[in-house]
Amino acid sequence: MNTEITTRTYTVVYARGAVHIQGLDEQVRGGLDSLNYALSACSALSKNQTMWVRPLTTTDLAEAVKKATALAESGQVKGFCKKCRKTALAVLEAEAYEIEAQRAVQDAPAEVGGEWIEDVPEEDGRPVWTLSTDYDERAEIFFADVTGGGPCTWRVGECFPDGRILTTGEAGTVEEAQRQAEQAFARAVAQ
């Protein structure tokens, strides 16, 4: 997991035409073997920039969009570049979605409220418990289980489409392993 925080800088620019926003992500229009690509979200940004006015440089994209919109509405420029506006709004929407997804994970309940059912023991005789719950409609695609009588291992994973393990852990007792597995299960369902 990459925890490095990168700060982007956005610059509102204009000359005689429309107002643009520099600093938006590249918009690739073709595959790797295609020559049809753009170096920035808007091809106008790669033109001669010596005559451009830069009324705002900021790290807040929403502020840059507001400034560009205000310039366009004031009549100082011909309008807000459609490509820049569309890309900026898409970036803001993606950021809002990511923030909401993180909030949902953080707000996931600490306990699921299900029942741990003793399952068929492992081949070596260690006991296995499986979580049975009506926690959420999405819960059907996830599973949680605990193996061992102490120390225990637990895991949470997806049943569909790949059947992959999402997270695992260890605990000293069955009860602690079940509690940890329930929390991980709730976070998986909330994502």
* Parent domain of 64: 10-106
Cα–Cα distance for residue pair 60/24, rounded to 1 Å = 12
Cα–Cα distance for residue pair 103/97, rounded to 1 Å = 10
At 5 the pLDDT is 53
Helix (H, G, I), strand (E, B) or coil at 115: strand
Cα–Cα distance for residue pair 141/47, rounded to 1 Å = 51
User: Could you read off the pLDDT of 35-51 as tens digits, one per residue?
Assistant: 444 456 677 777 767 77
Q: Which residues contact 18 (CB under 8 A, 6 or more apart)?
A: 44, 72, 77, 78, 79, 80, 81, 84
Do 87 and 129 have their domain in common? no
pLDDT band at 136 (very low <50, low <70, confident <90, very high): low
For the beta carbon of residue 123, count every other beta carbon within 10 angstroms.
6
At 30 the pLDDT is 46
Residue 10 has pLDDT above 60, yes or no: yes
Quick check: 35 and 98 in contact, CB under 8 A?
Answer: no
Q: Is 55 left (phi over 0), alpha (psi -120 to 50) or beta?
A: alpha
Do 124 and 142 have their domain in common? yes
Residue 66 has pLDDT above 90, yes or no: yes
DSSP code at position 62: H
Q: How far is CA 170 from the centre of its chain?
A: 27
Which range, of 96-100, 140-144, 146-150, averages the lowest pLDDT? 140-144
Residue at 123 is within a domain? yes
Strand-pairing partners, residue 129, are 118, 146
At 32 the pLDDT is 47
46 or 71: which carries more pLDDT confidence? 71
Residue at 178 is within a domain? yes
Residue at 57 is within a domain? yes
Do 100 and 14 have their domain in common? yes
Cα–Cα distance for residue pair 176/153, rounded to 1 Å = 10
At 1 the pLDDT is 44
Instruction: Determine which helix (DSSP H) or strand (DSSP E) holds 14, and give its type and residue range.
Output: strand 10-14
Residue at 1 is within a domain? no
Do 143 and 97 have their domain in common? no
Do 119 and 64 have their domain in common? no
Do 53 and 138 have their domain in common? no
